[in-house]
Amino acid sequence: MSDGSNQEYLIDRFLSGDLDDHGKEALALLLDNDPEMRRQFVDILRWESEIWSALNDETAVGTLTGDEIVRLASARKTTTNSKILSTAVVVAVTVGFFIAVGLYQILDRTDDIVPLQNDLQNQQVPSSVARVTGLKGDLIWTGDRGQIVRNIKVGTELAGGTIEGLAPDSWFELRFNDGSTIMISGSSLLTFGDDGQKVLRLREGHLSAKVSPQPNDRPMVISTRSAVLNVLGTQFNMEADLTSTDLTVNEGAVRFKRFSDGEEVVVEAQYQVTSDQDKRLLPVRVPSSVFTWKSELNGQVGNYGKWSPARMDSPAALKAIPLVPVENPEVTLYLAGISANRSGGPPVVVMPDSRFVIRGRLKEEARVYFGIRVKHPNGDHAGMFRGDLNMLQPLSKIDETGRFEAVYSLSQFIIDPVVLERQVENASSPDGLVLDGVWAFTHTMSPSGLEIFEVELLPPDKLEEEHGEIAN
């Protein structure tokens, strides 16, 4: 392992809470011997507010040794981790896998587990900084005192904490007291707070924001694993995962800084930038829209399910995993979701009379229900739609190997019934909106073996042309 790779490995293991004492000693030695690494490491810790406050309680950071920095940060992380241990337990039991390894760091201790809370009605919420203005799907909110809430409601006042979307159809909108709004969608994880300056951390997933004008000396700060944004007032969308951060600005401007080398740029309206270390930090104009799309199954963040690579006899696949809806715990769905966000690529616009085609495999014939999530061109959530003939979807026929193909015409899509039940704002039709994500599920008494090989969006002429060629 190269020195650079070793440094990144040790830092990532430390931030995820998995670094043992021997590893911490090695990290401290590297910090002592590499001033630039020490500067970058402390810069990353700055956005972990709990850790940074611990460092600020000591003498100037520049006078601390590598061992002292690691010791102080480790002590504060231990305190923080004990508060959120029970969140990991809840996710492991109800969903079966961890959405965000970096947040839920399991320690070898159980004495501080916080009991599960089911509503906020009897809890005192100190100095609310924001209010829930919209939500859908499975979500978990963890307050700054460790309380865990699954049935968040529109209108709930929050004083800060962490919100996590657990499924591909999840979304959550929050309005700060000054009118600024932020929204996460799909499998996303966001920590937020406001003590006179709004500080957020997007651990992974998709976020869109409309930020009211902020004081020049107190911009909204949004950090990820690889970058930090300073926002004075604008509208933008961003996506983050373990290695990169992608930003698209629709209005105003955002200051964007990459952690790896400290390079910084200002991203203007209708431009986008990525922190990918293999690329120069250079904003580029947002490309024009496209009207066709094909899914990518490479294990990327945003997909929901168990990914398996291609084999000699089978393409790469996303296997559906069980999901028990919060609103109907007696039901088990087998669901797979795919993100349609395209890093650096043009937005995908859904046109009238287009069709979605799903190709995959089943253990036996079953109804495959299909839905999409769409957004407005400026990134605002636009709605959820189902394409399975209003619950009259026919059984998907399979061949001798279990493979199937199902077609869903956009003219038959309806507003997702769950959205109608929640009475949230939703576009009347997906026509002309930007595709944000898709999902498919089966509702059978036992596992259906649903695997998705590919989802494709085709205009009607393209679909007819392909099927005509097959028929000929």
For 130-284, CATH number? 2.60.120.1440
Query: Is residue 89 pLDDT above 60, yes or no?
Result: no
Q: What's the pLDDT tens digit per position in 127-155? A: 789 999 988 777 888 876 667 777 788 88
Q: Is the pLDDT of residue 348 over 70?
A: yes
In the block, which residue shows the tokens 């890093």? 343
Q: What angle do CA 117, 118, 121 make, to 5 degrees?
A: 95
In this prediction, residues 172-192 reach a mean pLDDT of 90
Name the 3-class secondary structure at 203.
Answer: strand
In the prediction, which pLDDT does 412 show?
87
- The DSSP 8-state label assigned to residue 75 in this structure reads H
pLDDT of 117 > 50? The answer is no
What are the φ and ψ backbone dihedral angles of 336, each rounded to 5 degrees? -135, 140
Q: Exposed, middle or buried by CB within 10 Å (0-12, 13-18, 19+), for 472?
A: exposed
What confidence tier does 403 reach under pLDDT thresholds 50, 70, 90? very high
**Would you state the structure tokens that stand for residue 426, as one six-digit string?**
């939703």
**pLDDT range class, residue 96, cuts 50, 70, 90:** very low
Q: What share of the chain is helix, strand, coil (3-state, %, to 5)?
A: 20, 35, 45
The fraction of the chain above a pLDDT of 90, given in percent, is 28
- Domain 293-471 falls under CATH 3.40.50: no
Q: What is the largest CA-CA distance in the chain?
A: 78
Query: SS3 string of 386-445?
Result: ECCCCCCCCCECCCCCCEEEEEEEHHHCEECHHHHHHCCCCCCCCCCCEEEEEEEEECCC
Confidence class for position 93, pLDDT limits 50, 70, 90 = very low
Return d(Cα 320, Cα 448) in angstroms, integer.
Answer: 9
Could you read off the pLDDT of 439-451 as tens digits, one per residue?
999 988 788 999 9
Q: Predicted confidence band at 408 (pLDDT cuts at 50, 70, 90)?
A: very high
Residues forming a β-bridge with 117: 149
Q: What is the pLDDT of residue 317?
A: 92
Cβ neighbors of 229 (< 8 A, separation 6 or more) are: 220, 221, 222, 223, 238, 247, 254, 255, 256, 257
Whether 101 has a pLDDT exceeding 60, the answer reads no
Per-residue pLDDT for 227 more than 50?
A: yes
**Is the model more confident about 168 or about 205?**
205
Residue 395 has pLDDT above 70, yes or no: yes
- Give the per-residue pLDDT at 256: 96
**Mean pLDDT in residue range 1-6:** 55
Three-state secondary structure readout of 207-248: EEEECCCCCCCCCEEEECCCEEEEECCCEEEEEECCCCEEEE
Going by pLDDT thresholds of 50, 70 and 90, the confidence category of residue 197 is very high
User: What are the two backbone dihedrals, phi and then psi, of residue 370, each rounded to the nearest 5 degrees?
Assistant: -140, 140
Q: Which amino acid is at 163?
A: I
CA-CA distance, 87 to 76, in Å (whole number)? 18
pLDDT > 80? residue 179: yes
Q: Which span out of 49-53, 84-88, 264-268, 308-312 was modeled with the highest average pLDDT?
A: 264-268
Q: Return the pLDDT at 422.
A: 53
| pLDDT of res. 277 | 67
- The pLDDT assigned to 16 comes to 62
Can you tell me the distance from the alpha carbon of 208 to that of 254, in angstroms, rounded to the nearest whole number?
13
| Structure confidence at residue 118 (pLDDT) | 41
Residue, of 341 and 355, whose pLDDT is higher: 355
Using the predicted structure, report yes or no on whether residue 119 has a pLDDT greater than 50. Answer: no
- Counting DSSP H helices and E strands in the chain, the numbers are 7, 28
Angle at 150 between CA 301 and CA 235, to 5 degrees: 50
What mean pLDDT comes out for the span 229-237? 92
Which residues does 57 contact at the CB level (< 8 Å), separation at least 6?
none
Model pLDDT, residue 141: 85
Tokens 């919060």, residue located: 326
Q: Is the pLDDT of residue 383 over 60?
A: yes
Contact 183, 381 (CB under 8 A): yes
Amino acid found at 268 = E
Q: What is the pLDDT of residues 13-68, one digit of tens each?
A: 676 666 776 677 777 777 766 766 776 666 665 544 444 444 444 444 454 555 65
- 271 near 430, Cβ under 8 Å? no
**Mean pLDDT throughout 114-121?**
38
The residues of the chain that CATH labels 2.60.120.1440 are: 130-284
pLDDT, greater one: 111 or 430: 430
Q: What angle do CA 350, 414, 288 make, to 5 degrees?
A: 10
Q: Does residue 76 surpass a pLDDT of 70? A: no
Can you tell me the mean pLDDT for 86-112? 30
User: What is the rounded average pLDDT for all residues in the chain?
Assistant: 76
Q: What is the pLDDT of residue 91?
A: 32
- Which of 439, 290, 298 has the alpha carbon at shortest distance from 358? 439
**pLDDT greater at residue 287 or residue 350:** 350
Rg, the chain, Cα only: 23
pLDDT of residue 445: 78
**What pLDDT score was predicted for residue 195?**
87
347 phi and psi, to 5 degrees?
-65, 145
- Looking at the chain, the whole-number percentage of residues with pLDDT higher than 70 is 68
What pLDDT is attached to residue 394?
Answer: 87
Q: Choose the most confident range, by mean pLDDT, from 52-66, 107-121, 323-337.
A: 323-337
